[in-house]
Structure 1
Amino acid sequence: MIKRASLLALPAMLALAGASPALAASAAASAGTDRNAPPPRLAIAAAQPVSSPAAASAIIGAPSALAALQARQSGTPLMMASALMAAKPTFEGFAPAHRAAPMLRTAHASRPDVFGSTALSVSKTAFDARFANVFARRSLGRAADVARRFAAADRMDALLGINAYVNRAVTFTDDRAATGRADRWNAAAETLRSGRGDCEDYAIAKMQMLRAAGFAADDLYLVVLKDLVRRADHAVLVVRHEGRFLVLDNSTDRLLDSDAVRDYKPVFSYSAGKAWIHGYKRETAPRPTRIAPVQLAAYTAN
Structure 2
Amino acid sequence: MGTTDRPRAAAAARLAACAALLLVTFSTTAPAQQADSITVTAQVRPHLFGTVALPGPSGRWGDKWQKVASDARPCAALQSLVAPARALGRLAQLQFVQAQVDRRIGWRSDGTQYNARIYWASAAETLASGFGDDDDRAILKYQALRALGYPRSDYYLMMGRDQVRGDYVMLAARADGRWWLLEEQGDLPVAADRRAGFEPVASFGAGRSWIHGRPRLASAGALTASGAAPVAARP
TM-score after normalising by structure 1: 0.56
Structure-to-structure mapping, 1:87-166, within 5 angstroms: 108-138=42-72, 139-166=74-101
For structure 1, which runs of at least 5 residues remain unmatched after alignment?
A: 1-65, 75-106, 286-302
Q: Distance in 2 between matches of 1:147 and 1:184?
A: 24
Shift of 1:111: 1.1
Residues matched between the structures, number: 185
Shift of 1:284: 8.5
Q: CA RMSD in A?
A: 2.5
Structure-to-structure mapping, 1:1-302, within 5 angstroms: 69=2, 73=4, 108-138=42-72, 139-230=74-165, 232-282=166-216
Q: Is the 8 A contact 1:171 1:196 kept in 2?
A: yes
The alignment partner of 2:172 has SS state of: strand
Q: Is the 8 A contact 1:132 1:273 kept in 2?
A: no
Shift of 1:123: 4.0
Aligned amino acid, residue 182 of structure 2: L
Shift of 1:242: 2.1
Greater RCO, 1 or 2 (C-alpha within 8 Å, sep 6+): 2
Q: Which has the higher helix share?
A: 2
Q: Distance in 1 between matches of 2:57 and 2:178?
A: 26
Query: What does the per-residue CA deviation read over 1:116-154, in whole Å, with 9 as the maximum and x for residues that have no partner?
Result: 211111144331111111222234332312313211112
Q: Distance in 1 between matches of 2:203 and 2:147?
A: 21
Aligned amino acid, residue 181 of structure 1: A
Query: What does the per-residue CA deviation read over 1:81-117, in whole Å, with 9 as the maximum and x for residues that have no partner?
Result: xxxxxxxxxxxxxxxxxxxxxxxxxx92121112221
Aligned amino acid, residue 271 of structure 1: G
For structure 2, which runs of at least 5 residues remain unmatched after alignment?
A: 6-40, 220-235
User: Which structure: larger Rg?
Assistant: 1
Aligned amino acid, residue 112 of structure 1: P
Q: Distance in 1 between matches of 2:215 and 2:159?
A: 20
The alignment partner of 1:208 has SS state of: helix
Q: Is the 8 A contact 2:111 2:117 kept in 1?
A: yes
Q: Distance in 1 between matches of 2:186 and 2:42?
A: 24
The alignment partner of 1:209 has SS state of: helix
